[in-house]
Structure formats: structure tokens, C-alpha cells
Amino acid sequence: MGFLSRIRRLMSGQTDLVGGIDVYAPVSGEIVPIEKVPDVVFAEKIVGDGLAINPKGKQIVAPIDGTIGKIFETNHAFSIESPQGLELFVHFGVGTVELRGNGFKRLAEEGQEVKMGEPILEFDLAYLKDQVESLLTPVVLANMEDIQSLDKRQGSIEAGKDVIFTVVL
């Protein structure tokens, strides 16, 4: 990594002293291993590695500073890319796409620049709990080929306040 890349990372406020990018909780809840998600695409890390969160609360926030790539038409999932090139995918629950947007409200738009902690989506947890196979919310690194290391955390977390993993590109 070059000198300018290190300076950009330090100035972004999302790095530690060894150059890792901290990814914050997009939703409050309890961290669960990605392998426990009842969807083979996530459990077998087909779309990338990461972790899942058993959610509580009512909002999904930006886990990093970056640009919103895609927000699904059904408002249950989105992608975001950091200025350093980290690509994340956040997908609320399993079976949520079939709800056609019911239980979700979009708070941000595709192409929008956001800061870590800014609200992206709102959800109705009470409604969703009775409608879907699982509420487990995967947070996945979409560009694993660019990742040198991934340090995952465990335990209870609060959206926009707690680091869920640190990534070195």
C-alpha cells in the first residue's frame, strides 16, 4: 500500500493504526456466524465472507462511509462501497424478497454518499418476524478477492456504534 493510500485511510476515520478498515454494525442485535444463515448462498459464502446479525430495533444504517451502490426494489438489501474500495452487501433476513417491500421503507437512494451511521432502511420487526423464514441479517464482503485479512467480532452490538469486523485490503 502506498503512502497516499495510507493517508487517505487515516483521514477517513475508519482505520486503525495497522491500516485495517473498521466496519460498524448496520443493525443492532447479536452477532451470529454466517454459516448459521438458513440460505446456502450466505452460509456457504458464495457471495462472500462476513457474519450475520439477529436484529432488533427498526433501522439499518451505513456500516461504513461510502456510496450506496444498489438498493433492491423491495428495500430489504443494499450494497455500499467505501472510498478505499471495500464492497459490502447487507441483506435483511431470509425470504424477505417475497414480501415485495412490505415491512421496509427506503431512507437513502442509490448513488448517495453516506457517512457511517446514517440511516439507509427502516424495517418493521414485529411484522417481519411473522412473515419470513429467518430474520438473520448477513453483512458480507462482496470483493473477497481484494481482502488480505478479516477479523470478525462476537457478541451484542449496537447499530453505528460497535465494530463488527476489521478488514485489511
The grid coordinates listed for 137 are 441479517
- Known catalytic residue: 91? yes
How far apart are the C-alpha atoms of 20 and 122, rounded to whole Å?
A: 29
How far apart are the C-alpha atoms of 149 and 9, rounded to whole Å?
A: 16
DSSP string, 33-100: EGGGSSSHHHHTTSS--EEEEEEESSEEE-SSSEEEEEE-TTSSEEEEE-TT--EEEEE-SBSGGGGT
Torsion angles phi and psi, residue 4, rounded to 5? -65, -35
The stretches of 79-159 forming alpha helices (DSSP H) are 125-129
Task: Given the residues 77, 91, 116, 138, select the one marked as catalytic.
Answer: 91
| CA atoms 8, 28, 100, 143: torsion sign | positive
Active site residues: 91
